[in-house]
Structure 1
Amino acid sequence: MVPLNQAKRVVIKLGTGVLTSGIGELDTTRIEALCHQVKTLRERGIDVILVSSGAVGLGMGKLGLEQRPKDLATQQACAAVGQTILINTWQKGFDPHGLTVAQILLTREDLRAKHRHNAVFNTVERLLATGAVPIVNENDTVSATEIKFGDNDTLSALVASVTNADQLFILSNIPGLIDMQGTGEVVPYVEKMTPEIEAMAQGTNQVTSVGGMVSKLSAAKIAHRAGCGVTIGSGQDSELFNKLLAGESVGTYFAPSPAPVKSHKRWIAIQDHTYGTITIDAGAAVAIQEKGKSLLSAGVINSFGEFEEGDVIRIRTEDDKIIAHGLASLDAIDLSAIMGLQPEAIKATFPELHSSVIVHRDHLVLLD
């Protein structure tokens, strides 16, 4: 575990329940306390990026809506109204500390395209270099089903991955991962995500809490792969970061992977949309999983999808287990012609194809 006082960069995700005291009502006292904690972290030389929920709920209050609207257009309208209230409230909270906030609104599409993924990274880097506090939220005003993150837990983990954060804090009204079927206490430390750990998310009678913890564990998986530690804790604790800086154990800490995905491959690792799937034999699976080799044509059994060279594709074993993502070195048509062939056969039959590499190891990411 990397102690907080040794971290260089952290992402803090704040749930709606932490920031509001009711529909359309921001808890300004809590926001002021959070701003003070961010200032403390900054004084320790720690970069801080916030992921803030609350826009839709604030918009509902301003528009006089007591129930969350079911139609997308009204939800988007609420987000448009609420986001301005949210970001202005954050700025007021940071004004006494002389800090400037910067609003970043994202959709899934912004992280699917590599050039936009890189633009997000570069923008955050420049903002932090100028001393601003980036505040990220999903761009709910334009988000449709196919480009939504789904929840800000997932968004925060992706932001942590993109920005190379050391630690991610997911703060809500939940004090941590609770072992409801066992001790009933908060689990202080999780070294690895196991079926037993994931089952703990099913141990509550409150439907909303089940969904909440499920999404938090999913986010922890994403951050784990990027080498980022994750703390799930209570945003109601005004001394949480002071306790962590003092070395106390707070909430549930999920350890980062001891062999994280390299930074230049993280764009591949976080893709939720792929353009095709190829099935490989057992020998090829061993080569890429255990020996760090590139995927060659000889090990490919079949291919599905209409992908182009450079598209992200999934790699699966004969028993249908997805084991990797990678960038295709050739398109689906060329692959269908050479899969299963040895390099000599490819050179003799298809001289225009200069390599038997389907996915180079530098563009291949193993999945947990």
Structure 2
Amino acid sequence: MASIELPLEAGRAPAPVQGWTLLAALPWFAAVAVLLLVPDLTYQPLGRELALIWGAVGGVLTLLGLFGNRLGRAGRWSALRGPWLFAIGAASALWTVVTAKTGWLPQPFFPTPQAMLEVFLYDYGKILHSAAFSIWLLAKGFFFGAIAGFLIGVGMGWSRAVSYWATPLLRYIGPLPATAWLPLAFFIFPSSGSASVFLIAFSTAFPVAVLTWSGIAAVNRDYYEIARTLGASPLFLIVKVAIPSALPHVFVGLFMGLSTSFAVLVVAEMLGVEAGLGWYLQWAQGWAAYANMYAALFVMAAMCSGLITLLFRIRDRVLVWQKGVVRW
């Protein structure tokens, strides 16, 4: 029996090393050298501990650069993010130079990397408690706002009567910033927590309602006619035809609502809530603890990015059947 030979182009051997990942280790080692060899202008705690952390990052990147192509998911992750890992390492080295070593960015308004590490090591309990409170408050407001906006949008897209009465209210009240309702919300609701939930829900409901309404109204009428021919009831048309077809628009509204609700969350916590990241930011500002302020901002950015990533994952799961129709 003759053997079949495959052309070399059919399966190229993977590259022996990941060039960008290996290169990304260099600025991390450079940051360690700057941290240990260049004297600080003022005393900085935890310098050796920070150097150990950065050196460990550089070592891990070196190993991933040399053997990442054999490590499956971890190798694919490092290969995709090699340029970013290089940029973060270079930014860390530059951050150390312009703050702790030269003072080009004056302290305490621009804290050093050592000061930031000190905050996360010794004040992590308060930061974690504030983050957990913010997530819980945001989850409640976002849930109620998403449900209300979705139901309003479905009603407006399906019923002309609902659209007739709801459209003027949505046009005149919806665009108002939720923060403009702060004085009234804190007066009406019995606690600052419930007022904050209302404001978050309000900021979420408007984009969800508008995008759901647009999605329902844009459904091809032929789908309804075919379903009616097969004996579908109005409830079946809404649940099985209109809503699935409008889900891409609904998720766009959810993304917009999540962004606006996060901004309202921080403002509400700064003005009336006795916990949360907004409250922590206000507390740090009152004590001129600038390193704590930057730590709170960092946690806020990480939390918002994580929630958006989670929503992306949920969308990909729910709309997996529309991958070939809707492009994202």
Work out whether the TM-score is over 0.5: no
Report the TM-score when normalising by structure 2: 0.21
Identify which of structures 1 and 2 has the higher relative contact order when contacts are C-alpha pairs closer than 8 Å and 6+ apart. Answer: 2
Which structure has the highest strand share of the two? 1
- Relative to the length of structure 1, the TM-score reads 0.19
